[in-house]
Every structure is written in structure tokens, then in C-alpha cells.
């Protein structure tokens, strides 16, 4: 889930605590993107250039997680007549984004670390 205006460092542990109260004995990680899932696309913007209507010359913002309104940012950086749609574009962009570039986002970097921790704990 997106953090929207909540602090991911507070929201994530609160969700994890609730999950652990219900599911015990399983590895659990909670990753909450700062603002929106789409902020991860902003971090990996170069790898998404020309995909799903994004301009060929797209560049990531200096601080991708500081952008409030990542969906709107994506729409503004699309070719004329095209707007970002989560239901139409999200899965394809997630499949194409460069994971190393996306690690410019602190929350995506945390996702990678937690994923590795869970895999290694099996």
C-alpha cells in the first residue's frame, strides 16, 4: 500500500505489528513506498523512456521520493494525448523498470533488502 501523506517509517512497522498479531511463524516484511508506488517509476525513469507512452528523453527527478503526485508527474512526461493509468500501465512499467535505477528510492532499496532477508531466512 502507498504511504500517501503518512510517514513510511511509522506506517510500515504499524502494519507489520498488526500482521504479526494474526500470522505467527512466517517471515513478514512491510514495505510502504513513500507517497505512491509510482515514485519507484520516477527513480527508474531512464529505463522506462519510450515505454507505455513515456517520452524518449525522460529523466528522473533529483529526489524521486519527494514528488507528491507521481502519477501526475508520469502523465506530464508522456507523449501528447497520453496520460498515465495505473490499471493500464502499472504492471508493464513495473516489468520494464531497471531495479538498480529504482534503488535511488530509499523505500525501493528497503524493499530489495527485505526481499533478500526473507529469501535468506528460508
What pTM was estimated for this model as a whole?
0.83
Please, are residues 56 and 4 in contact by the beta-carbon 8 Å criterion?
no
Residue 54 sits at φ, ψ, to 5 deg, of -70, 145
- Number of H-type helices and E-type strands within the chain: 7, 0
SS3 state at 72: helix
Give the pLDDT score at 13. Answer: 72
Please, are residues 106 and 73 in contact by the beta-carbon 8 Å criterion?
no
Closest CA to 34 of 4, 13, 74, 12: 4
Per-residue pLDDT of the chain (122 residues; tens, 9 = 90+): 666 676 767 767 777 777 778 887 677 887 777 778 999 999 999 999 999 999 999 999 999 999 999 999 999 999 999 999 999 999 999 999 999 999 999 989 988 998 998 888 87
Instruction: Measure CA 39 to chain center.
Output: 5
Domain edges within the chain: 37-120
User: What is the rounded CA–CA span in Å between residue 119 and residue 122?
Assistant: 6
Amino acid at each position: 500500500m502507498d504511504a500517501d501523506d503518512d510517514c513510511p517509517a511509522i506506517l510500515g512497522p504499524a502494519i507489520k505489528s498488526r500482521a504479526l498479531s494474526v500470522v505467527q511463524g512466517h517471515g513478514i516484511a512491510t514495505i510502504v513506498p513513500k507517497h505512491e508506488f509510482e515514485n519507484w517509476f520516477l527513480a527508474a525513469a531512464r529505463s522506462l523512456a519510450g515505454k507505455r507512452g513515456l517520452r524518449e528523453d525522460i529523466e528522473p527527478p533529483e529526489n524521486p521520493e519527494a514528488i507528491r503526485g507521481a502519477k501526475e508527474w508520469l502523465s506530464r512526461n508522456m507523449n501528447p494525448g497520453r496520460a498515465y493509468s495505473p490499471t493500464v500501465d502499472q504492471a508493464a512499467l513495473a516489468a520494464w523498470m531497471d531495479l538498480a535505477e529504482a534503488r535511488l528510492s530509499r523505500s525501493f532499496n528497503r524493499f530489495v533488502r527485505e526481499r533478500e532477508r526473507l529469501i535468506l531466512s528460508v
